[in-house]
Amino acid sequence: MSKDMHKEFSDNIDREVAKLVDRANREAAQAVDRALGRATTARAFDTAHWQRRLDELLTTHRIPGAALAVLTGGEIHELASGILHTGTGVETSTDSVFQIGSVSKGYTAALVLSLVDAGKLDLDRPVAEILPDFALADAEAARTITPRQLLNHTSGIEGDYVNDTGRGDDCLARYIDGTRVIGLTNPPGATMSYSSTAYNVLGRIVEVITGLTWDEALKELICDPLGLRQTMTLPEEVLRFRAAMGHMGEPGEDPTPTPLWNMLPRSAGPYGGISATAADVVRFARLFIDGGTAPDGTRVLSAAAVEAMLTREVEMPDQWFLGAHWGLGWGLFEWDGVRGFGHDGSTFGQLAYLRAIPEKGLAIALLTNGGGAAPKVHEALCRELSAELAGTTMPAFGPAENPPAVDTAPFTGSYKREGFLLTITARTEGEGVLDLRYEGVEGLAGTFDPLVWHLTPVSGTPAKTVFAGRRNEKDAWIPVVFYALPDGTRYVHFGVRATAKSA
């Protein structure tokens, strides 16, 4: 045997031994979990009951179609209801593919952590060391922002920069060329403000380090090892499967199909461009329940990388919308003292939800094709499933029966970030004490009709005051938080984004 052949043989043996060790460690850990009652559930999954419940909720809330996948007791259960397209009447099936929107950010974060595992990326070195041409309107911020800040949404980069840079493999490189005009919502590290733009920067980092497109890296480093055969990023891949059409409509209305299947450009991939079945989303979530290994024992992420993604990095000003804290890619929550993670996603007319409780071996993915009341369907199913299968209580959010009295004067005025204006005014009658008017300005002026939320106080402290907002009685309550930075700058946290007071 030649020296090269001997080395290759030895390397293969080492890899197989590593797989066996990983599998043995995982099985041992699962045995301990079972002994402690953590990874198993007391009750079996009642497929007929949950199918009836899914059907009922979709009918009640006028959602055209949805797919639900639940991991419990080590098994994945799949359900589907309704139709994929109101114009065609094609039924939703468990193998139907939906757009998962910003749930995609968890996949991009996993890609980034795989590069950390490989010793190819330091999360605390400036992005500019990897992307020398990376630029923002604030030159100093561009020199200092780190991948960690991109992952945990503390970079301050304006979050909603959409730029259609074409279908070519250079779309992300061209997107990053355009960020030089993008400003900041806040100084880097000062507060948490959700940024899709930041995740596209992370996607470009993946490309530069791996020499692959983001799409190829996702397939080779995440999808293939996990066996995610119905997870994809390009429309020509989606065409192989039954695909959901998005629908738009207000709560209580019958929604109508969107004019196009997907109105996001290819450059939106890292922050929102993945399509998948509900079961594949749960299979991805299982990676973080099983400590970084695939079901066949293949190690995809180190246990340290998984723990890093599930460790609190920053406290959320809004403690309810996507969790109380943010990790490296996931929103983090605790229900009855038990840690969980998740993410929501929305595209034009499709909404996706993922929640997982690793200690209980539970993951829930709900994918819907529209309807303004989809959040209510998610909330009902997630609360009931987590109670039934994990014994945990998902907290509800909304005002108390007798809301506290708060001084609203400090909150009224204008709050502005690039492309959006939020105007807070006192309300003299009807529900709530404040109105929040949300509208597009500058390049987004006239792209949508202004929206108004009525705000009711929930709690108030010297540090922050929390309101519950909704547009009408058919809407779900959403958190609106007013707070100030140490330098005295006032902010409103709305839709997980920080917007500074401008007037």
Which pLDDT belongs to residue 483? 94
Tell me the C-alpha distance between 22 and 294, whole Å: 10
Which pLDDT belongs to residue 9? 38
Tell me the C-alpha distance between 22 and 292, whole Å: 10
Burial 62-100 (b: 16+ CB within 10 A, else e): bbbbbbbbbbbbeebbbbbbbbbbbeeebebeeebbbbb
Tell me the C-alpha distance between 135 and 151, whole Å: 18
267 as an active site residue: the answer is no
Which pLDDT belongs to residue 427? 87
Maximum Cα interatomic distance, the chain, rounded to a whole number of Å = 87
Tell me the C-alpha distance between 109 and 286, whole Å: 15
Q: Which helix (H) or strand (E) holds 368?
A: strand 362-368
Which pLDDT belongs to residue 168? 96
Which pLDDT belongs to residue 496? 92
> Alpha-carbon torsion 382, 474, 368, 322, what sign?
negative
Return the SS3 of 487.
coil
Residue 14 carries which DSSP code?
A: H
Residue with tokens 């700058």: 489
Closest CA to 456 of 495, 406, 491: 406
> Alpha-carbon torsion 31, 32, 36, 40, what sign?
negative
Query: Is there a contact between 453 and 471 (Cβ–Cβ < 8 Å)?
Result: yes
Q: What is the mean pLDDT of each run of 10 residues along the chain (503 residues)?
A: 43 43 42 41 82 97 97 97 97 98 98 98 97 96 98 96 94 96 95 96 98 98 98 96 93 89 95 98 98 96 97 90 91 95 95 97 97 89 97 91 90 93 88 91 83 92 89 88 93 94 91
Return the SS3 of 438.
strand
Return the SS3 of 420.
strand
> Alpha-carbon torsion 162, 163, 168, 170, what sign?
negative
Q: Which helix (H) or strand (E) holds 426?
A: strand 420-426
Which pLDDT belongs to residue 12? 45
Choose, from 81, 102, 155, 346, the residue flagged as catalytic. Answer: 102
What is the rounded radius of gyration, in angstroms, for the C-alpha atoms of the chain?
Answer: 23
Rounded to a whole number of angstroms, the distance between the first and last alpha carbons of the chain is: 77
Q: Indicate the pairing of strand 256-257 with strand 275-276.
A: unpaired
CB neighbour class for 463 (10 Å; exposed up to 12, middle 13-18, buried from 19): exposed
Chain centre to alpha carbon of residue 488: 30
Query: Cα dist. 309→74, 88, 105, 288 in Å?
Result: 22, 41, 12, 9
Query: Is there a contact between 329 and 114 (Cβ–Cβ < 8 Å)?
Result: no
